[in-house]
Structure 1
Amino acid sequence: MTALADPLAPLLALADVQDAVGQARAAADAAMRHRALRRQGGVVAAEISLRSAVASAALEGYAHDRELVRSGVVTDTVVQGCLRVAAALPSLVDTWPKAPRQVLARLHVLAARGSVPMDALGHPVDPSSGPRLDALAALVAGGTSAPPLVLAAVVHGELLALRPFAGVPGVVARAAARLTLMSSGFDPRGLIAPEVGHLAREPEYLGAAGAFATGTPDGVRSWLRHCAGAVSLGAASLEEVAEQTWTAPQS
């Protein structure tokens, strides 16, 4: 019996994709070697989680000053949903590759509570999206040997294109992509926040996501390159946070 071909393998042959993925990997690895992470990793992780949530909410059109969110005065339901999602990611890492659709439903419940009717939480709005969600789940569950960043980008792009959940589908898509990076070992501690990079290049993010949805080689290539760049920017944000933490006065 002939083994099935890896469905994501052709993506690595697209122009500049391997180079972009390699550069993002190197940037992430360098950032995660910062000396602050050895002694104050928890503090850094908490700050990255906050930045991730604030950026994801902004990408949904709910932009708020990070310091106001930190202080707890922002009660916006989308922002609160993003904070819940960011806080829950570490607890979902092990389940993600085993039961992706279960985790997607959980992410939607966390993200959309208070934003959509209770009976819509955790349920795809269009049953016809089921086969594509199943195919995506199969990839997450071990159906590809593509680099983690490529798989994360495909997960992200597919969920943005499908918009299977009501209210805040982008929040779910970005969280699923981040879970893919965490569960694959690319970013096991959840220290890289690509959302920060997506927000920094928001017009490119929106355009590249639309291009990915066309399914053309050029569209997919532009999305993969954008996602790699977002990871590199997330790595730069980690280095900034780590350096600030390291140089902050010690009590």
Structure 2
Amino acid sequence: MDTRSPIQRLAAAPNAAEAADTAREAVDRVRRHKVLRSQSARVTAESQLRGARASAALGSLSEAGTDWPLEEVRRRTDLGDEDGSGLLRGALRISGELGTLAPVWKRSPIQALSRMHLLAAAGHLDQDRVGRPSGPEAAVTLTTLANELRDPAAAEVPAVVVAAAVHAELLVNEPFGWGDGLLARAASRLILADRGLDPQSLAVVEAGHVDVGVEKYLDAARDYATGTEEGLATWLGLYAEAVELGARESLAVCEAIMRG
């Protein structure tokens, strides 16, 4: 039986070094863009909006996503009760608080995840289910993950590997029972920022996953859940590709801002 933590297992994947290099090079290209000298907050805000829309489109292993056009998301002030509006509303609420969630995540990942679930599920689930793990086993999953993040050994693991591991664990185990995909993607964004890969949260990694393909994304999560070396490598490779594509989208945002 493999007793290594999810982070350490993924760090041992044969493509871990390549994934880390791919992600770092892609994000560094964005971070060098000259528009960030004066417009970094604007690029971050646009990344978070696009990320929320894409995150809602991705859904999770147990719930279908909802794909709203970006300009409609930008324009609408009330999503109403349309199909999938709850998931998109939750994604936008989380996105709007990522800045305040960052220090909470650093101090207590479980508290940050509970807050995210409260934001996502308020008005959608019964009050006694909001912000709480779905049961004792789910609570153990969250505690174990939080302990792994605090393990000094995790500090030596590349940020993209840590983010991919936490993302997959939340996506596969679904500890809150609803909206876990939203939480998984928001948590991975916070990790990329907290661990220095993307401190300004520029890359639209969620959109990168959509570009790769929703079914391919979900299939890769299922591959990860097998625990095999091949399954872990498949997930990590896809995650690194999504970071690369998400960085490319952020570059396009920078260029659009420059053009006015």
- Normalised to the residue count of structure 2, the TM-score between the two structures is 0.89
User: Which AA in structure 1 matches 2:220?
Assistant: A
Rounded to whole Å, the distance in 1 between the matches of 2:163 and 2:157 is 10
Task: Tell me which moved more, 131-140 or 158-167.
Answer: 131-140
Rounded to whole Å, the distance in 1 between the matches of 2:5 and 2:221 is 23
Corresponding residue of 2:240: 228
Report the alpha carbon displacement of residue 98 of structure 1 after superposing the two structures with TM. Answer: 1.8
Rounded to whole Å, the distance in 1 between the matches of 2:37 and 2:72 is 29
Rounded to whole Å, the distance in 2 between the matches of 1:203 and 1:10 is 24
User: Are the aligned partners of 2:168 and 2:221 in contact in 1 as well (CA < 8 Å)?
Assistant: yes
CA displacement, residues 86-128 of structure 1 (integer Å, 9 cap, x when unaligned): 1111111122132111111001011112221121111111211
**Do the aligned partners of residues 54 and 213 (structure 1) sit closer, same or farther apart at CA in structure 2, a change above 3 Å counting?**
same
Task: Tell me which moved more, 70-79 or 48-57.
Answer: 70-79
Corresponding residue of 1:133: 142
User: Are the aligned partners of 1:115 and 1:167 in contact in 2 as well (CA < 8 Å)?
Assistant: no
Rounded to whole Å, the distance in 2 between the matches of 1:8 and 1:190 is 21
- Structure 1 residue corresponding to 2:251, chosen from 233, 239, 242: 239
Corresponding residue of 2:223: 211
Rounded to whole Å, the distance in 1 between the matches of 2:15 and 2:101 is 32
Corresponding residue of 2:168: 157
Corresponding residue of 2:82: none
Rounded to whole Å, the distance in 2 between the matches of 1:49 and 1:190 is 8
Report the alpha carbon displacement of residue 77 of structure 1 after superposing the two structures with TM. Answer: 2.3
User: Which AA in structure 2 matches 1:109?
Assistant: L
CA displacement, residues 133-186 of structure 1 (integer Å, 9 cap, x when unaligned): 212101222441211110000000000111011321100111111111111111
Corresponding residue of 1:111: 120
- Normalised to the residue count of structure 1, the TM-score between the two structures is 0.92
Within the alignment, does 1:174 sit opposite 2:185 as a pair?
yes
Structure 2 SS opposite 1:246: helix
Aligned pair count reads 245
Rounded to whole Å, the distance in 1 between the matches of 2:73 and 2:9 is 42
Structure 1 SS opposite 2:107: coil
CA displacement, residues 57-96 of structure 1 (integer Å, 9 cap, x when unaligned): 1112111111011012551222121111011111111221
Structure 2 gaps of 5+ residues are: 60-64, 80-84
Rounded to whole Å, the distance in 2 between the matches of 1:35 and 1:53 is 25
User: Which AA in structure 1 matches 2:218?
Assistant: L
Rounded to whole Å, the distance in 2 between the matches of 1:8 and 1:71 is 39
Within the alignment, does 1:58 sit opposite 2:57 as a pair?
yes
Structure 1 SS opposite 2:175: coil
- Structure 2 residue corresponding to 1:190, chosen from 189, 201, 209: 201
Structure 2 SS opposite 1:93: helix
Report the alpha carbon displacement of residue 129 of structure 1 after superposing the two structures with TM. Answer: 2.1
User: Which AA in structure 2 matches 1:153?
Assistant: A
Structure 1 gaps of 5+ residues are: none
**Do the aligned partners of residues 236 and 135 (structure 1) sit closer, same or farther apart at CA in structure 2, a change above 3 Å counting?**
same
Corresponding residue of 2:131: 122
Listed as ranges, the matches of 1:70-89 within 5 Å are 70-73=74-77, 75=79, 76-89=85-98
